[in-house]
């Protein structure tokens, strides 16, 4: 396999076999390396610093976000935070080291926006909703409510499949065929791009000093969204705050009420709420800067009946929202129920 400086991202619903396929590919292709992500959890006995992960304290993880050194981050099982280091990908592209990673659809979209053709997106699907549900049940004991939540999330993730470079259908009993298909994708892309993408002036990501971060709050109440003077609340993220902290403080100051993420809280939560990741990230390239907009669907601690002048709740059904935002509102059960 030729040195190619590509990042291969596997995405898809829980239970489709992403990590199993990735492990099979890594075993068959020694030159391919797993992208080490940053995490706040402690290392396991079989893990090595810098191989699977960079193991960071919560304070160091926060500093990395503030410095824009992490491209995206997610809370896993309410216990730890995981993020994608920008410098690790940039160094791999420069050196021609191909990497592979399992990253959710929103993180994958952001990486594609930043690194362009140096990122190859591969969507893994089960091919059958019933098969996926059975795999989810086998992975862990889940209630019917939790299973339905995961299946709705799977439908949301599948909305992005058309934006991927490849789709692998990992049918039951066909794991080896799926691994081989992924090997062929890696080999073909590296051979094709060794003389084109890598030999050319490869895109090595954005300079963090050019990135301007904003945060938008979609505050839900009784099937309506909050707007201020005809727009959703949006502010520039202060340098000392994480995006969720910024929108939380802004709305507290404007409305005098606490706001919370729509992701269900857990009594066993160990992660500071400030690390809450956005449900959608939009990137806009401008002449002299790159604008990153973190979009959150939010709930208020209690219904708001008195609002500042120019503020008001608009029925969701009266708003012209794009498909991804509508899907997120559906996933978070913010949409009004119809009979």
Element (H, E) at 138: helix 129-139
Bridge partners (DSSP) of residue 8 are 100, 120
- Strand 166-169 relative to strand 224-228: parallel, antiparallel, unpaired? unpaired
My answer on whether 237 and 275 are in the same domain is yes
My answer on whether 300 and 218 are in the same domain is yes
Q: The CATH number of the domain where 65 resides is what?
A: 3.40.50.300
* Banded pLDDT at 216 (limits 50, 70, 90): very high
Contact 243, 280 (CB under 8 A): no
My answer on whether 139 and 269 are in the same domain is no
My answer on whether 133 and 11 are in the same domain is yes
In this structure, is residue 280 part of a structural domain?
yes
pTM of the model as a whole = 0.84
pLDDT at 178 over 60: yes
Higher pLDDT: 331 or 233? It is: 233
In this structure, is residue 198 part of a structural domain?
no
pLDDT of the residue at 146: 67
pLDDT of the residue at 2: 67
Enumerate residues 6+ apart whose C-beta is below 8 A from 161: 123, 125, 167
My answer on whether 11 and 148 are in the same domain is yes
Count of the separate structural domains present in the chain: 2
Averaged confidence pLDDT in the chain = 88
In this structure, is residue 242 part of a structural domain?
yes
Q: Report the C-alpha gap between 93 and 3 in whole angstroms.
A: 10
236 phi and psi angles, rounded to 5 deg: -75, 140
83's tokens: 């993020």
Higher pLDDT: 295 or 173? It is: 295
* Banded pLDDT at 13 (limits 50, 70, 90): confident
Distance from the Cα of residue 187 to its chain's centroid: 26
Q: Report the C-alpha gap between 28 and 35 in whole angstroms.
A: 16
pLDDT of the residue at 15: 80
Domain endpoint, select from 193, 221, 236: 193
pLDDT at 219 over 50: yes
Q: Could you write out the DSSP letters of every residue in 268-298?
A: T--S-GGGPPPSEEEEEE-SS-EEEEEEEEE
Domain with 296, as residue range(s), is: 208-331
Q: Which tens digits make up the pLDDT trace of 64-89?
A: 999 999 999 998 877 899 999 999 99
In this structure, is residue 305 part of a structural domain?
yes
My answer on whether 133 and 35 are in the same domain is yes
Q: The CATH number of the domain where 288 resides is what?
A: 3.90.79.10
My answer on whether 159 and 257 are in the same domain is no
Place of tokens 């959710």: 104
pLDDT at 268 over 60: yes
In this structure, is residue 337 part of a structural domain?
no
My answer on whether 51 and 167 are in the same domain is yes
Q: Report the C-alpha gap between 314 and 318 in whole angstroms.
A: 7
pLDDT at 200 over 50: no
My answer on whether 136 and 235 are in the same domain is no
Q: Torsion angle of alpha carbons 69, 71, 77, 79, nearest 10°? A: 10
């Amino acid at each position: 396999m030729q040195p190619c400086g590509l990042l291969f991202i596997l995405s898809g619903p829980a239970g489709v076999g992403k990590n199993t396929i990735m492990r099979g590919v890594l075993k068959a292709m020694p030159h391919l390396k797993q992208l080490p992500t940053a995490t706040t959890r402690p290392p396991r006995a079989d893990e090595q610093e810098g191989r699977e992960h960079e193991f960071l304290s919560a304070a160091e993880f926060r500093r990395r976000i503030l410095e824009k050194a992490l491209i995206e981050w997610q809370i896993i099982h309410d216990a730890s935070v995981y993020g994608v280091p920008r410098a690790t990908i940039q160094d791999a592209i420069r050196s021609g080291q191909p990497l592979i990673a399992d990253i959710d659809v929103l993180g994958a979209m952001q990486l594609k926006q930043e690194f362009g053709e140096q990122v190859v997106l591969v969507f893994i699907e089960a091919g059958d909703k019933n098969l996926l549900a059975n795999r989810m049940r086998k992975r862990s004991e889940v209630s019917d409510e939790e299973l339905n939540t995961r299946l709705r999330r799977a439908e949301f993730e599948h909305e992005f499949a058309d934006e991927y470079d490849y789709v692998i259908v990992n049918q039951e009993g066909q794991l080896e065929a799926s691994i081989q298909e992924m090997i062929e994708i890696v080999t073909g892309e590296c051979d094709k791009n060794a003389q084109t993408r890598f030999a050319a002036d490869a895109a090595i990501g954005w300079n963090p000093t050019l990135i301007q971060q904003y945060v938008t709050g979609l505050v839900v109440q009784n099937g309506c969204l909050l707007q201020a003077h005809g727009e959703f609340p949006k502010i520039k993220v202060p340098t000392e705050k994480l995006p969720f902290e910024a929108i939380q403080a802004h709305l507290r100051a404007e409305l005098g009420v606490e706001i919370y993420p729509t992701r269900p809280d857990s009594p066993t939560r160990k992660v500071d709420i400030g690390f809450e990741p956005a449900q959608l990230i939009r990137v806009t390239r401008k002449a002299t800067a790159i604008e990153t907009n973190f979009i959150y669907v939010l709930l208020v601690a209690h219904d708001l009946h008195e609002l500042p002048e120019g503020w008001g709740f608009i029925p969701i059904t009266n708003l012209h929202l794009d498909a991804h935002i509508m899907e997120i509102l559906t996933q978070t059960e913010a949409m009004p129920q119809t009979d």
